[in-house]
Amino acid sequence: MEKRAYEIISHLNREIKIKIIDGHFATKHSHVSHCIDMTEVKSSLNASKAAAKIFADGFIGTPVDTIISLERMKMVGAFLADYLTHAGINARQDIAVISPEITNDKMILRDNFLPYVKGKNVLLLTASATTGQTVNSGIEGIAYYGGTPVGAATVFGGEFACSVPVVKLFGTENIPDYVSFSTQDCPLCRKGVKVDAVVNSYGYSKIV
């Protein structure tokens, strides 16, 4: 399957690349036509810094006390916090970066994390937001714990309604034939096309 992969490079910074594989993939919330491998953005020093800089530029005028990092995006979150504290409204401020538990798509904050969210301006950072469910659930969680959601940042995002500004590095316009379906309404399943792999934030597992 990896032989089918091709690369998309950001026009904003050539250090930022994602790999795309065409096929039939099952995610937590949907079935999709492409697997998007963001391992380099999450794991590479240069790519993480480059991604964080673009996110920071998008929120330079937004007050941020805490960044909630989901889907193994904590290195990007740390660089994002650093960039935000060097310019704009957050200059010379302290910004926390936390990764809460997610259970049944709901954010759970233990008592030790509550002071970083309650009464704070919180930015949500995630790797993928195809249907918007992860982002909107995260925003609901921030509000539930007494925080003020001020924005969301994602490496790849689809088109969805959101109550806060969303900054995306890549979108469906970068993959023109990208489609996402609910598990119940997947036309590939109806045609009997087998699922190539199960995909989550850690990567993909091929179905043999």
- DSSP class of residue 113 equals T
The answer to whether 77 and 125 are in contact (CB under 8 A) is yes
Distance CA 55, CA 126 (A): 11
Write out the two tokens for 195.
């699922």
Per-residue pLDDT of the chain (208 residues; tens, 9 = 90+): 577 899 999 999 999 999 999 999 998 888 999 999 999 999 999 999 999 999 999 999 999 999 999 999 999 999 999 999 998 999 999 999 999 998 888 899 999 999 999 999 999 999 999 888 899 999 999 999 999 999 999 999 988 999 999 999 999 999 988 998 888 899 999 999 999 999 988 888 888 6
Write out the two tokens for 15.
């250090």
Q: Which region holds residue 92: left if phi is over 0, alpha if psi is between -120 and 50, else beta?
A: left
Pairing of the two strands 197-200 and 17-26: parallel
Name the helix (H) or strand (E) containing 57. Answer: helix 45-58
